[in-house]
Amino acid sequence: MTGVSSFRSKLVRVTLGASAGLLAGFTALAVAELVAGLVRPAAGPVTVVGGAVIDRTPAAVKDFAIRAFGENDKTVLRLGILAVLALVALALGTLALSHRRAGAAGVLLFGIVGATAALGRPDSTGTGDALPSLAGALAGALVLYVLASRAVPVPAPADGGAGGGWNRRGFLTAAGVTVVAAASAGGLGRFFTGRRARGAVASREALVLPAPASPAPALPAGVRLKVPGITPFTTPASRFYRVDTALTVPKVDAGTWRLRIHGEGVTRPRTYTLDQLLARPLIERDITLTCVSNEVGGPYVGNARWLGVPLADLLEEAGVLPPSRGGRADQLVARSVDGMTLGSPVEDLMDGRDAMLAVGMNGEPLPFEHGFPVRMLVPGLYGYVSACKWITGIELTAFDAYDPYWVRRGWAREAPVKTQSRIDTPKPFARPAAGTVVVAGVAWAQRRGVTRVQIRVDDGPWRDADLAARAGVDTWRQWSYRWDATPGGHTLTVRATDGTGRVQTERRTRTVPDGASGRHGVFVTVT
Ligand SMILES: Nc1nc2c(c(=O)[nH]1)N[C@H]1C(S)=C(S)[C@@H](COP(=O)(O)O)O[C@H]1N2
Ligand SMILES: [Mo]
């Protein structure tokens, strides 16, 4: 063989190996998608491996991911997993050309990784969850074995004539069949998954929210300031921040949804349907929800009008007593369809605040992203210790007896919301013209309310901002300040005072373990 033809034959070999590997990987994922569509979409290999990665991500890295990718963090993770799988497929494909069995075995090994991840998920419903990964791997291994056996050189004829090429036609035929079969399997899988989701979507569209027995108190005039760039008083659902560990948003069918209340001190355990909850007297409240991962000045806070069943009523009916009245359980653990666990202090839930099982958000059924059909909501507590979305279970227990998801990852067991204020306008590094500049934003101190907001320019004195009318202690409050801006660089700093008279601390802390503290500052250059 000449040097050129040997190089060419090497190139062909590498190409064949890479194609065989990628086709095997594609087949594995497509077949897994089909089986997941039949068994349980949440048991698909990318979803379970992604979930396992999320659960094992240290808090610091997770914080970084949220900061760097925001709400696209899950897309980034998915693409990352697919990129890793593609590299593995390339390597196994190349290996399979010389060692067919070893290549196929490698694919099977990945199937076992996926199956193990599936069975280890907190929402795993049984051994059936291993099927998508295993079936996918079997199909992938088979494809790799067959393609690799077709990717062999055609022996040169014995008479010494031209030969030594590749069995191109054999390989291409097998590859073509594989592509069509795998694409069909994947498409069918998507169809089955889509059909389940359509059932849930239809149940949401059919849901008619009852009128509240206790409507939200009318908002006083002047609760909304007319300042360009200020955060709206009510956050539309479409713009409400979303923080959760769900790689795919759970689509729960309202018709089959159940909520079970049980545990320590529950004398009358019960399981509710959605209709049973909706038949009870509902309350409607404006409540500001805050994430513990929100940095000072950050975006993970929103205010909505929620409709729901008072949680304290359900707990009392179940026989639960708060610790202050002799109850044995001091922690309520909420569980969701995706296996998330969140723990709240029972005392807080029964102290008269509007803790609820919410079914409505801004006049609509909850969006799927925000927990349809039912989520928990507790004014004054960060979301991770209170706001369980897609809730299916409420268990009464003790803080000493059980650590929920985030607590096991270094976050505090109890986490009341800290007093915070944020400058929405001007934006950091804005270049407003000298003269009157309207500085404005929001401040929140759920359960205590905001009674004062002050602004400081550089190291100057603190001056009172104008407050919007107060809607209640559980909602944020808009504020604005007319600043007589002079040319040059300036730092604007804000601080709020809560209903107990306490001024928001200037002591900076990180978000871990119980929420960031410190004051929001914005640097601008006045021109
Ligand atoms: N099932 C489930 N519920 C959850 C979470 C989650 O990861 N899974 N995250 C919690 C956190 S950390 C917050 S801040 C709120 C956010 O609610 P939102 O996405 O509707 O804004 O939901 C809480 N409820
Ligand atoms: Mo959160």
Q: How many CA atoms lie within 13 A of 515 on its CB side?
A: 24
On the question of pLDDT at 12 being above 90, the answer is no
Query: Residue 9: its pLDDT value, please?
Result: 79
List, for residues 76-87, the tens digit of each pLDDT value: 888 999 999 999
Identify the residue whose C-alpha is closest to ligand 1 atom 12: 384
- Mean pLDDT, residues 36-45: 92
CA of 379 to the centre of ligand 1 (A): 14
Residue 295, C-beta contacts closer than 8 angstroms, at least 6 positions apart: 67, 511, 516
Give the number of the ligand closest to the Cα of residue 235.
1
- Mean pLDDT, residues 488-514: 97
CA of 268 to the centre of ligand 2 (A): 32
Closest ligand 1 atom to 290 CA: 14
Identify the residue whose C-alpha is closest to ligand 1 atom 9: 244
From residue 340, alpha-carbon distances to 260, 264, 391, 403, 522 in Å are 15, 20, 9, 12, 36
- Rounded-to-integer distance, Cα 115 and Cα 132, Å: 8
331 confidence band (pLDDT: 50, 70, 90): very high
74 confidence band (pLDDT: 50, 70, 90): confident
**For a substitution probing ligand 1, which of 294, 384, 391 has the most ligand atoms within 8 Å of its CB?**
384
Identify the residue whose C-alpha is closest to ligand 1 atom 5: 244
- Mean pLDDT, residues 193-217: 96
Structural domain boundaries of the chain? Answer: 2-203, 237-409, 420-526
Residue 490 near residue 524, CB atoms below 8 Å = yes
- Mean pLDDT, residues 400-411: 95
- Mean pLDDT, residues 170-182: 92
Query: Residue 316: its pLDDT value, please?
Result: 97
Determine whether 517 is exposed, middle or buried from the number of CB atoms within 10 Å of its CB (0-12, 13-18, 19+).
middle
On the question of pLDDT at 258 being above 60, the answer is yes
List, for residues 414-461, the tens digit of each pLDDT value: 999 999 999 999 999 999 999 999 999 999 999 999 999 999 999 999
List, for residues 143-165, the tens digit of each pLDDT value: 999 999 888 776 666 665 555 55
Query: Residue 3: its pLDDT value, please?
Result: 63
CA of 381 to the centre of ligand 2 (A): 10
Longest dimension (CA), the chain: 101
On the question of pLDDT at 213 being above 80, the answer is yes
Query: Residue 462: its pLDDT value, please?
Result: 98
Residue 469 near residue 220, CB atoms below 8 Å = yes
Mean pLDDT of the chain: 94
Query: Residue 368: its pLDDT value, please?
Result: 98
Closest ligand 1 atom to 241 CA: 21
Query: Residue 7: its pLDDT value, please?
Result: 80
pTM of the model: 0.91
**For a substitution probing ligand 1, which of 54, 244, 289, 512 has the most ligand atoms within 8 Å of its CB?**
244
Query: Residue 159: its pLDDT value, please?
Result: 60
Residue 77, C-beta contacts closer than 8 angstroms, at least 6 positions apart: 50, 53, 54, 65, 247
Residue 291 near residue 243, CB atoms below 8 Å = yes
In terms of Cα–Cα distance, which of 418, 472, 417, 468 is closest to 442?
Answer: 468
Which position has the token pair 């607590």? 407
Closest ligand 1 atom to 406 CA: 12
Identify the residue whose C-alpha is closest to ligand 1 atom 18: 242
List, for residues 284-301, the tens digit of each pLDDT value: 999 999 999 999 999 999
Query: Residue 68: its pLDDT value, please?
Result: 74
- Mean pLDDT, residues 41-59: 88
In terms of Cα–Cα distance, which of 392, 380, 381, 388 is closest to 404?
Answer: 388
Give the number of the ligand closest to the Cα of residue 361.
1
Query: Residue 237: its pLDDT value, please?
Result: 98
Query: Residue 55: its pLDDT value, please?
Result: 87
Q: Could you tell me which CATH class the domain 420-526 is placed in?
A: mainly beta
Residues near ion ligand 2 (Cβ under 5 Å): 243, 291, 383-384
Matching fold, domains 237-409 and 420-526: no
Residue 396 DSSP SS3: strand
Residue 385 near residue 343, CB atoms below 8 Å = yes
CA of 152 to the centre of ligand 1 (A): 54
Give the number of the ligand closest to the Cα of residue 405.
1
- Where does 237-409 sit in CATH, by number? 3.90.420.10
CA of 446 to the centre of ligand 2 (A): 15
On the question of pLDDT at 321 being above 70, the answer is yes
Query: Residue 1: its pLDDT value, please?
Result: 46
- Rounded-to-integer distance, Cα 461 and Cα 441, Å: 19
Closest ligand 1 atom to 391 CA: 1
Identify the residue whose C-alpha is closest to ligand 1 atom 2: 389
List, for residues 363-373, the tens digit of each pLDDT value: 999 999 999 99
On the question of pLDDT at 38 being above 70, the answer is yes
CA of 54 to the centre of ligand 1 (A): 14
Identify the residue whose C-alpha is closest to ligand 1 atom 6: 244
Identify the residue whose C-alpha is closest to ligand 1 atom 15: 383
Which position has the token pair 């050309």? 97
Q: Say which DSSP state 503 is in.
A: B
Cis peptide before 379 (omega within 30 of 0): no
Closest ligand 1 atom to 382 CA: 14
On the question of pLDDT at 46 being above 50, the answer is yes
- Mean pLDDT, residues 469-474: 97
Closest ligand 1 atom to 384 CA: 12
Pocket of ligand 1 (CB under 6 A): 240-245, 289, 291, 336, 338, 340, 370, 383-384, 387-390
Q: What are phi and psi of 71, to 5 degrees?
A: -80, 0
- Mean pLDDT, residues 404-422: 96
